[in-house]
Amino acid sequence: MSRSAHPAGPRHADVLPDPPPAPPQADANALDPAIWPVTACRDGGVLHLGGAAVPDLVGRHGTPALFLDEADLRARARAFATAAAGVDVFYAGKAFLCTTVATWVAQEGLGLDVCTGGELAVARAAGFPPERIALHGNNKAVGELQHAVLAGVGRVVLDSFEEIRRAADVASAAGIRQPVLVRVTVGVEAHTHEFIATAHEDQKFGFSLRDGAAEEAVAAVLDSPALELAGLHSHIGSQIFDTAGFEVAAGRVVSLAARIRDLHGIEIPEIDLGGGFGIAYVAGDDPEPPRQTVERLVGIVAQECARAGLPVPRIAIEPGRAIVGPAMVTVYEVGTVKPVELDHGMVRTYVSVDGGMSDNIRTALYDAQYTCVLAGRESDAAAVLCRVVGKHCESGDIVVRDAWLPGDVRPGDLLAVAATGAYCRSMASNYNHVPRPPVVAVRDGADTVILRRETVEDLLRLDAGVDRG
Amino acid sequence: MSRSAHPAGPRHADVLPDPPPAPPQADANALDPAIWPVTACRDGGVLHLGGAAVPDLVGRHGTPALFLDEADLRARARAFATAAAGVDVFYAGKAFLCTTVATWVAQEGLGLDVCTGGELAVARAAGFPPERIALHGNNKAVGELQHAVLAGVGRVVLDSFEEIRRAADVASAAGIRQPVLVRVTVGVEAHTHEFIATAHEDQKFGFSLRDGAAEEAVAAVLDSPALELAGLHSHIGSQIFDTAGFEVAAGRVVSLAARIRDLHGIEIPEIDLGGGFGIAYVAGDDPEPPRQTVERLVGIVAQECARAGLPVPRIAIEPGRAIVGPAMVTVYEVGTVKPVELDHGMVRTYVSVDGGMSDNIRTALYDAQYTCVLAGRESDAAAVLCRVVGKHCESGDIVVRDAWLPGDVRPGDLLAVAATGAYCRSMASNYNHVPRPPVVAVRDGADTVILRRETVEDLLRLDAGVDRG
């Protein structure tokens, strides 16, 4: 059943008891290490992140705010980068990107995926080594291609025949031979523990393997003197907990590589298997550690290449969420607490916080689930079923759909929501003219603003009718 | 079935043929006057808006861009404002707000609903008469209440007991007697042609009528010398095509007014029925004209008051989408056109444009439907089933899920999407670091930027790591 949030979408009355909320965990104050950043702990009942007490952080930075555990992010990045030889790891900037994070992932030895001129501008402002940058996207503007080619990005992932021609023209005009990957639509789609494999795929990305478009695209690249075929790319889904889908995808990509060898007498230097590696949002989510995922993928490609009689190429992967997702925590202040009696006698306690769908659209957009705790204190009060909602004028403005919080939750409490590093701040809006929250890095007790809080003045900056005299 | 766009949501392979796309309209170039702004027409095959040719507008302002038909917006605002005596019309700024639009609705005689300090700041920057401003919201910060009370806003809509206390404290400290409305949760939820009425309502807003909270809230307001009870407020849904739900809601609010008279010996001066009036997004949507809606609501309240033996109070309504929604058109440039063969032999043509879910999240968020046409030319080519998608790195990045466009649609074509005035620019993000598009007012052949296009420099402004030397 859809739980779409709104207008002409399903009514909220329809979407109530499905699925039944998970039972409360034994201790509403506990911090599940699978979900919270590595430095998260309670000291004197108070949540600490990066060695700093959250109430102190809030005293300096206000609420809502996102706190980024530098040690957690760097450890995950390093785990991917060092898991296996012959694997290139590109951080997927779309999950969250600013110059500081770009610098950290560069220091940890990763490359960077960008998919627009804007993301490329951030990478350039960070001084990211261009040869370790990949440009993605299904509809790159000519200006974006020019920007990337002239900057010397290491690879451009090509997505359509128009784009092959455009990239060839741009590289040719620049007098550059541009390494490119061909994005292949392999007919595999994976989420959590499931995947499906079909012949055709109803989506915008890539060249279909089945209808011959992928083979044709490779031929077109090989025919373009200004383009260098650096590899094949596929991407099968997101929030994936199991590598079975990658087996099918890798098998199909390797088959294509074998046909290319037979047709053109060349070996594909690299196979990029994309990203989509899952993280834990709520109890029961069971992602593999990065090292294990990488080892499995290396094994899969080696096995498929052996079967096809091909030497094993370099492998590339593109984790975004799996690096930044668990490293951030959003802290809100509770403004109102409202117990609402429901038709079937149950009571749901609505806990309103000072942010909402403008800083985290994932709950409304993807029915995403989150875990939250009181950050400023512990409580022995029995847990009650809560819905954490934002301050926006919309009934679908939900941050955590089902949360068991201590029954004495009250206005003024600080509430911390875990695993908000990916696709929260990066998709944030100014809906209701709410300024976007800052991102503050925490490490060894020190806190550093890496994205400052927006102000109302920032919001008015675009308004042509505002008197700036 | 959910068509949620993404991670751990349903797979796109699951959501394919449901619902079956509407058949093509007879002429893919036609402009349905129920959907397009009042000045939209074709001249020499080219779409014109506000007397200007769209290709000329694009030449001056680029793509993507939103063009706002001033005549259309003003006519809708005026139709609401002049429909009936005794009715106060508040434009719901959350749909779209900038100083220019605030000025226009003030000139047309409307009040303005704001629901945050940011929206209030826009209203103030526009010089909007404060006594015609209403402050909404389920979780107003104390600072927002102070800002509103000191600015002299005409009404604050109170949503919780905490807020009654806060508003009383703020008004008392300011030495002001603040007019307030009590938001009542009436147990009615309406969308399109349906509504449901329940005793209890599982949502964050308001005081429940059923469990006595609403009556208690009224008593608390009457007990606060710094607050003046100016009325009762209810809001039942959005994109509503039928006033039947308003009948039930008004009946319940009037019953509360009658009990308040009996208990406290006072008459409620105003009943605010909220907004939610629907507009036409696609063929077949059949909203009533504003005048007819207002007349019906007046009749409903009069009838309910007669039944309860009460004098008819003033009525307030809060249209947002119904004023600004149909007045804006988003114009994109097509970048790639990709026919994709599907498993069942059908071909879907993916048309990629230079914007997407960053400037229109409604398709991904609410399964919203839109109508689009080629703007730069007419075509006699037979229509093909298209999906208009954006340039974001996400398969759920869909602008128009099912569109029949001329089969010769090609890169470089301009594509106009109708009825994007409400909840598109106002919910826009910088996902993938894509700058937000401008809003350009058009009237009598003249075009004026009212919200300028964001730049990459704007995006980097918040990044603490960018060298600004």
Answer for the pair B411, B336: CB distance below 8 angstroms, yes or no. Answer: yes
Which residues of chain B does A91 touch, with a Cβ-Cβ cutoff of 8 Å?
A: none
Cβ A466–B397 below 8 Å, yes or no? no
Q: What's the CATH architecture for A12-69+326-456?
A: Beta Barrel (2.40)
Query: What one-letter code names the amino acid at A398?
Result: I
- Residue A378 contacts residue A29 (beta carbons within 8 Å): yes
Respond yes or no: is residue B393 known to be catalytic: yes
Q: Which CATH architecture has domain B16-69+327-460?
A: Beta Barrel (2.40)
Tokens representing residue B297 in the block: 């609501």
Name the DSSP class of A81.
H
Q: What is the pLDDT of residues B318-362, one digit of tens each?
A: 999 999 999 999 999 999 999 998 877 889 999 999 999 999 999
- Supply the pLDDT for residue A381: 96
Contacts of residue A228, defined as CB under 8 A and 6 or more positions apart, other chains included, come to A177, A178, A179, A180
Stretch B131-158: mean pLDDT, rounded?
A: 98
Chain B neighbors of A448, CB-CB under 8 A: 464
The nearest alpha carbon in chain A to B425 belongs to A431
Q: What is the pLDDT, as a whole number, of residue A345?
A: 81
Size of interface A-B (CB pairs under 8 A): 354
- What's residue B199's pLDDT? 80
User: For residue B4, what pLDDT is reported?
Assistant: 41
Q: Tell me, what's the pLDDT at A468?
A: 76
Q: Using one digit for the tens of pLDDT, what is the confidence trace for B245-270?
A: 999 999 999 999 999 999 999 999 99
The identity of residue A450, as a single letter, is I
Residue of B nearest to A386 (CA): B204
Q: What percent of chain B has pLDDT over 70?
A: 96
Secondary structure class of B415 (helix, strand, coil): strand
Indicate if B70-325 has the same CATH topology as B16-69+327-460: no
pLDDT at A13 (0 to 100): 46
From chain B, the residues in CB contact with A367 under 8 A are 2, 4, 8-9
| Global pTM value | 0.96
**Mean pLDDT of chain B, nearest integer:** 94
The pLDDT tens digits of the residues spanning B107-141 come to 999 999 999 999 999 999 999 999 999 999 999 99
Alpha helices in A161-212 (DSSP H): 161-174
Contact B115 A432 (CB under 8 A): yes
More confident residue, B19 or B366: B366
Q: Cβ separation of A348 and B202 shorter than 8 Å?
A: yes
* ipTM of the complex, rounded to two decimals: 0.95
pLDDT of residue B14: 45
Q: Which residue in the set A118, A192, A354 is minimally distant from B139, CB to CB?
A: A354
pLDDT at A8: 41
Q: Does pLDDT of B20 surpass 90? A: no
Q: Is B98 close to A5, i.e. CB distance below 8 A?
A: no
Which residues, listed in sequence order, are joined to residue B332 by a DSSP beta bridge?
Answer: B415
Contacts for B85 with CB less than 8 Å, ≥ 6 apart: none
Residue B371 clears pLDDT 80, i.e. is over it: yes
* SS3 state at B209: coil
Pairing of strands A178-185, B41-43: unpaired
For the cut 70, the answer to whether the pLDDT of residue B462 exceeds it is yes
**Which conformational region is residue B403 in: left (phi greater than 0), alpha (psi within -120 to 50 degrees), or beta?**
beta
Superfamily of domain B70-325: Alanine racemase (3.20.20.10)
User: What does the pLDDT profile of chain A (469 residues) look like in tens digits?
Assistant: 334 434 444 444 444 444 567 777 778 999 999 999 999 999 999 999 999 999 999 999 999 999 999 999 999 999 999 999 999 999 999 999 999 999 999 999 999 999 999 999 999 999 999 999 999 999 999 999 999 999 999 999 999 999 999 999 999 999 999 999 999 999 999 999 898 988 888 999 999 999 899 999 999 999 999 999 999 999 999 999 999 999 999 999 999 999 999 999 999 999 999 999 999 999 999 999 999 999 999 999 999 999 999 999 999 999 999 999 999 999 999 999 999 988 778 899 999 999 999 999 999 999 999 999 999 999 999 999 999 999 999 999 999 999 999 999 999 999 999 999 999 999 999 999 999 999 999 999 999 999 999 999 999 999 999 987 6
| Angstroms from B306 CA to nearest CA on chain A | 30
The pLDDT of residue B19: 55
Tell me what pLDDT residue A19 has.
Answer: 55
Helix residue ranges, H only, B309-370: 321-324, 362-366
Closest residue in B to A6 (Cα–Cα): B366
For chain A, the domains span: 12-69+326-456, 70-325
List Cα–Cα distances, A17 to A258, A362, A401, A406, A412, in angstroms: 51, 20, 11, 21, 29
Q: Which of A118, A336, A362 is opposite residue B138, by nearest beta carbon?
A: A336
